[in-house]
Amino acid sequence: MAEPYMRVEGLVKRFGPFTALGGVDLEVYPGEVHALLGDNGAGKSTLIKTLAGVHEPTEGQIYIEGKPVQFRSPRDASDAGIGTVYQDLALNQLMSVTRNFFMGREMKTAFGTLKMDEMDQIAHDEMLKIGIDFSDPTQAVGTMSGGQRQTLAIARAIYFGAKVLILDEPTSALGQKQQMEVLKTVMRVRKRGDIAIIFITHNEIHSRLIADRYTFLALGKVIGAETRETLQHDEMRRLMAGGAEMADLEQELAAI
């Protein structure tokens, strides 16, 4: 069995007196999709912001390839191979696909001019590798579909060295067909075998289609850690509901 690329032990995050994460353990393996599930307010975003260097943990330890690490900034996390694609994607709609791809990391000649042709080619090729043939990367991002934008953000994270790719609800704002396109992109990244993917979702069906491992959060704690093989359908519904018996809720609903 492969070593986890990243391991998290006893991660605690407090905001003043409020405990958003109450001791979370997590392991992510290259070539696997790890679904992170839980209801609103469970702590999913807080967990990934801690992994991405946005928040400093109050307690606990993050390990990369077995070595303890401290992230003091998003830059530290990114240098350690943590690539995060947030829900808003941080894209500038008015600028071209290529300019967005290379935002802040432009390729320049010795004279300081942009190597536009080279960057256009790379942006095109990198997106094609994970699923979209966007033939004209000089077009504005505003002309892309929502699914294509996700693919752009994912391709960019990988090109700039992500070994852990964190996707925060990448399908939630999309129509059904585009959701499937994004899942296909995720599976192509998985197939490379060298990248660990953390996939945050509310959607049971999506996680079932792609995930190798599952971690369920509720009120900042892990209430279930399962694999594709161990996760039972009823158990999933119970865990998605934060541990409350879904059947009870359904009975209450039926009794109204």
Selected binder of ligand ATP within 42, 166, 167, 197 (CB under 6 A): 42
Selected binder of Mg ion within 32, 45, 162, 210 (CB under 5 A): 45
Beta strand pairing call for 59-64 and 6-15: antiparallel
d(CA 62, CA 70): 7
Q: CA torsion sign, 10 to 58 to 244 to 180?
A: negative
H or E element that contains 162: none
Minimum distance, C-beta of residue 45 to Mg ion, in the bound complex (Å): 3
Question: Which of Mg ion, ligand ATP, none interacts with 18 (beta carbon under 5 to 8 A by kind)?
Answer: ligand ATP
Point out which residues pair with 22 in neighbouring strands: 12
d(CA 16, CA 39): 22
Other Cβ atoms within 10 Å of 25 Cβ, number? 13
Minimum distance, C-beta of residue 170 to Mg ion, in the bound complex (Å): 12
111 binds ligand ATP (CB under 6 A): no
Q: Read out DSSP for 25-80? A: EEEE-TT-EEEEE--TTSSHHHHHHHHTTSS--SEEEEEETTEEE--SSHHHHHHT
170 binds ligand ATP (CB under 6 A): no
50 binds Mg ion (CB under 5 A): no
Using CB under 6 A, which of the segments 41-49, 146-154, 185-193, 246-254 binds ligand ATP? Answer: 41-49
Q: Are 142 and 92 in contact (CB under 8 A)?
A: no
Residue whose CB is less far from Mg ion, 44 or 124: 44
Question: Which of ligand ATP, Mg ion, none interacts with 77 (beta carbon under 5 to 8 A by kind)?
Answer: none
Footprint (CB under 6 A) of ligand ATP, residues 11-40? 15, 18, 20, 38, 40
56 binds ligand ATP (CB under 6 A): no
Question: Which of ligand ATP, Mg ion, none interacts with 20 (beta carbon under 5 to 8 A by kind)?
Answer: ligand ATP
Using CB under 6 A, which of the segments 25-33, 43-51, 77-85, 180-188 binds ligand ATP? Answer: 43-51
d(CA 212, CA 122): 30
| Residues within the interface to ligand ATP (CB under 6 A) | 15, 18, 20, 38, 40-46
Residues that bind Mg ion (CB under 5 A): 44-45
